[in-house]
Amino acid sequence: MSATFMDLLGERVVLLDGGIGTELIKRGFKPGACPESWNLVLADVVKEIYQNYFDAGSDAVSTNSFGGSAIKLAAYGQKDRCYEFNRASAELACAVRPEGKFVVGSMGPTGKFLQPQGEYTPEQFEESFYEQARGLADGGVDIFLLETHYDLQEALSALKGVRKASGQPVFITMTFNLTPRGYFTIMGNSIAQFVEEMEKHSVRGVGANCTLDSGQMVGLVKELRANTSLPLVIQANAGQPEITENGSVVYSQPLEDYVKYIPDIVANGANIVGGCCGTDPDYIRAMAKAIR
């Protein structure tokens, strides 16, 4: 029987990939387009991105499905293709997955809000995420990563949707800001509140991604570890996005500065590390050297 992702996690620090969106933009993706549609219309490009991350040293690569919930896809008029887009994203990754490596089903937030702030009910969110998770599961993902969530209630709806579709392990990361009172999501969820709910619902790991750079993540990991013994997933941004004179986007934290904090992130308790916005295969290659 082949080893599972959880087996590998029990042996050593696991390295994820970097930004998928960052790589799409390098290849001509335009603002306002639907990233998940590339899984069908530009499948070879998406496969190349996956392959480059595996080649750089990633133990596991995330599917191009971050915004693939039915509700999110409705903004592009693509709601009815939710299953199709997500299944394709997973099948493409599985097609280039080397032996002993893994495919992670990426599921981000809907971009909408639950009542009373918004128009949706938890059940509507759950159904939207269920359709996405069904496609990812049928496409062959090894685990699910519900990432960049900022509303604990939405994250729990996503978890319910995934569990209706699959029995694969689920990890959940939220995105936190550092405030004078500590780390909180934009909806006011604290680290302690997040961890308590995740443990209650028996997720396999928790963590944080996006918003903060790798230096800022060092303290956040320490606080996460103080609140839980669950495996921790950390994927920092390469700083903040900045628009150049020619209109392109660059990130404020260069590779060398980003990577120098990775040993501290691991020392403070991270079990799974990778990159978020602004990171690419070069960052992953350097991170692989730093953690091994």
Domain boundaries, the chain: 5-291
212 closest CA partner among 224, 202, 204: 224
Among the residue ranges 40-49, 85-94, 147-156, 244-253, the one predicted with the least confidence is 244-253
Q: What is the pLDDT of residue 122?
A: 97
Dist. CA 206–CA 264, nearest whole Å: 18
Q: Region 109-123: what's the mean pLDDT?
A: 96
What tokens does 153 get? 């209630």
pLDDT digits (tens, 9 = 90+) for 145-186: 999 999 999 999 999 999 999 999 999 999 999 999 999 999
What tokens does 6 get? 């959880």
Residues 6+ apart with CB under 8 A from 104: 16, 60, 61, 62, 63, 141, 142, 143, 144, 145
Phi and psi at residue 281, to the nearest 5°: -55, -30
133-165 burial string, b = 16+ CB within 10 Å, else e?
Answer: bbbbbebbbbbbbbbbbbbbebbbbbbbbbbeb
Q: Region 193-209: what's the mean pLDDT?
A: 98
Residues 6+ apart with CB under 8 A from 11: none
Query: Is residue 269 within 8 Å of 224, Cβ to Cβ?
Result: yes
Q: Region 272-288: what's the mean pLDDT?
A: 97
70 closest CA partner among 137, 134, 141, 115: 134
Side-chain half-sphere of 185: how many Cα atoms within 13 Å?
Answer: 24
Q: What is the pLDDT of residue 250?
A: 83
The pLDDT confidence band at residue 242, using thresholds 50, 70 and 90, is confident
How many separate helices (H) and strands (E) can be counted in the chain?
Answer: 13, 12
194-221 burial string, b = 16+ CB within 10 Å, else e?
Answer: bbebbeeeebbbbbbbbbbbbbbbbebb
Helix axes 152-165, 122-139, angle to 10 degrees: 50
Query: Is residue 17 within 8 Å of 276, Cβ to Cβ?
Result: no
Q: Region 124-129: what's the mean pLDDT?
A: 98
Dist. CA 48–CA 27, nearest whole Å: 11
Query: Is residue 175 within 8 Å of 185, Cβ to Cβ?
Result: yes
The pLDDT confidence band at residue 64, using thresholds 50, 70 and 90, is very high
How close are the terminal C-alpha atoms of the chain, in Å?
Answer: 26
The pLDDT confidence band at residue 248, using thresholds 50, 70 and 90, is confident
Dist. CA 162–CA 176, nearest whole Å: 23
- Separation of CA 173 from chain center: 7
Among the residue ranges 1-10, 91-100, 192-201, the one predicted with the least confidence is 1-10
Amino acid symbol at 275: G
Q: What is the pLDDT of residue 1?
A: 52
CATH class of the structural domain 5-291 = alpha beta
Share of the chain above pLDDT 90, in %: 93
Q: What is the pLDDT of residue 167?
A: 97
